[in-house]
Amino acid sequence: MDNLHHIVVVGGGAGGLELVTSLGDKLGRKGKARITLLDAGLTHVWKPLLHEVASGSLDANANEINYRAHARKHHYEFQLGRMSGLDRSSKQLVVAPFHDEDGEEVVPERRISYDTLVIAVGSTANDFGTPGAQEHCLFLDSLKQARRFHNLMLNAFLRKNHEALEGEDHTLNLTIIGAGATGVELAAELRLASRELPVYGMNHLKSSDVSITVIEAADRILPALPARLSAAANRELERQHIQVLTGQPVSEVRASSIVMKDGSELPSEMTIWAAGIKAPAFLAELGLEANKGNQLVVKQTLQTTRDEDIYAFGDCAACPQPDSDRSVPPRAQAAHQQADALFKTLCNRIKGGEAVPFVYNDHGSLINFSRYTTVGNLMGNLSGRSMYIEGKVARLFYVSLYRMHQVALHGFVRTGIIWLMDKISRAMHPRLKLH
C-alpha cells in the first residue's frame, strides 16, 4: 500500500465526498491508488439543507452520512481532523490537534503525506467586518451551528408562548441579514415553523406574533439571479407575511436590535447572518496563490497556480471561466460538476494522462419556499435561454438535486431505498423536529 499513489482530499462536503466516493469505487477498490478523506466532523449533511435543519423541517439524524461507515463501503480511508498547514517541500499536510468537548487533547498535531492533494474545504459566512456580527449573529455554516439555531428557536418560541399566557408583550422578532438563496429559503422555513409549532402545544403564540424580516443591501433580493426570479421570490415572501427590506445595508448588530446605515434601528431577538461567503482564512497562509476572499486561485484544470500536485475546487477555489472575466460561482451544482471533472483528471493522472479542463454549465437556479411553493429557472442546453418554472414542477426539480447527490454517494438502488424510508418517516413523525 505504501507504494500506491496517495490522493488526499481535504473536506467532506458535497463535492469532496462525491469525489472520494468515485475515486474509491474506481481506484481504491482495484488497488490502483490509496484514497484518504480528511474532515473535521464525523458526519456529512448536504449544506443546502442546513437551513431546513435549523428550522426543524428536516431531521439531520436521518439524513447525515457517517464518514467511517461510508469509507468502508466505498474503499477509501477516513481521518478525523482539521487541516492547519502545508509543507509542500516534503508533500505533507499538517493536521491540527484534536480536542474533546472538555478541551482535552485526544490526538496531537500530526502530518499526512500525499502524492496528490485536493482541497475542498468549502466556505464560511462573510460578515464584512460588521460591528457586533460575530458576537450577536447566528450562522449556518455547519451542522453544529444549525442544531444550535434550532434549539435557540424552540426556546424562543417557548418563552414567547409563556409570555402570551401571562398576558405580556410576546412579539418575537426574527431577522435574516442577506437575501441570497439561503436567506430567502430560511425565511420561508421559519414562517412554516411559526404556523406548525402552535399545533404541538404552543397554542398561545400565533404565527402573526412572529415577525420575520429579510434585509438585503442590494436593490433587490436574490441579486445574483435573474430579475424575474427575484420578483417572484419577493412576491412569495410578502404573501407569507415576511417583511423585505432592500437597499438597506446593516451598519451594526446589537444584542436585541439591528442598526441600519441610515441610523434607524430594528428590534431583533434572533439575528441570522446569511450575507455573503468567504473561504477559510488558513488557505491564504499555505504559500499558494489566494485572492482577497481567501480562495485558492486555480487553473481551468483545477490545479493551483503554484503547485501542479495540489488541486482545489468548490467554494474555496477561484476557477476561471472560459471567455469570461468572472470565476465559477460558489454553488452546489458547480462543486458537483467540478468533482466529476476532477475524478476524470485524477484517474488520468494515475495512468500518466492529461488533465481535463473544467467548463461550468449553468443549469439554472431553484428557490424553495418550504412547503408553500418553489420557483426557478432552467437553462436550455442548446438555446442557452432560461425557462421560468414554479409550483409542483419546480419542486420536483428542486428535490431531484438532493436525490442526484445521494445517487452519487450511494447509487440508484440504495437511493431508492432511502427515498422510500424518507416517505415512511414523514408519515410517522411530526412535520417539525420538536427537540
Q: Is the pLDDT of residue 111 over 80?
A: yes
**How many Å separate Cα 63 from the centre of its chain?**
14
For 326-355, b/e burial (b = at least 16 CB within 10 A) is: ebbebbbbbbbbbbbbbbebbbebbeeeeb
Q: Is the pLDDT of residue 384 over 70?
A: no
More confidently predicted of 369 and 399: 369
Q: Please, which pLDDT band fits residue 86 given cuts at 50, 70 and 90?
A: very high
As a whole number of angstroms, the distance between CA 189 and CA 372 comes to 9
Mean pLDDT of 103-125: 94
Q: What is the pLDDT of residue 380?
A: 53
Q: Please, which pLDDT band fits residue 61 given cuts at 50, 70 and 90?
A: confident
The DSSP code for 31 is T
Ordered by where they begin, the domains of the chain are 6-123+279-350 (3.50.50.60), 133-275 (3.50.50.60), 364-428 (no CATH)
Average pLDDT, the chain: 91
Q: Please, which pLDDT band fits residue 113 given cuts at 50, 70 and 90?
A: very high
> Structure pTM?
0.90
Q: Please, which pLDDT band fits residue 382 given cuts at 50, 70 and 90?
A: very low
* Helix/strand/coil (H/E/C) assignment for every residue in 148-171: HHHHHHHHHHHHHHHHHHCCCCCC
> What SS3 class is residue 267?
strand
Q: What is the pLDDT of residue 294?
A: 96
Q: Is the pLDDT of residue 381 over 60?
A: no
**pLDDT for 153-197, tens place per residue?**
999 999 999 999 888 889 999 999 999 999 999 999 999 999 988
Question: In the chain, how long is the greatest CA-to-CA distance?
Answer: 74
Nearest CA among 317, 386, 349 for reference residue 123: 317
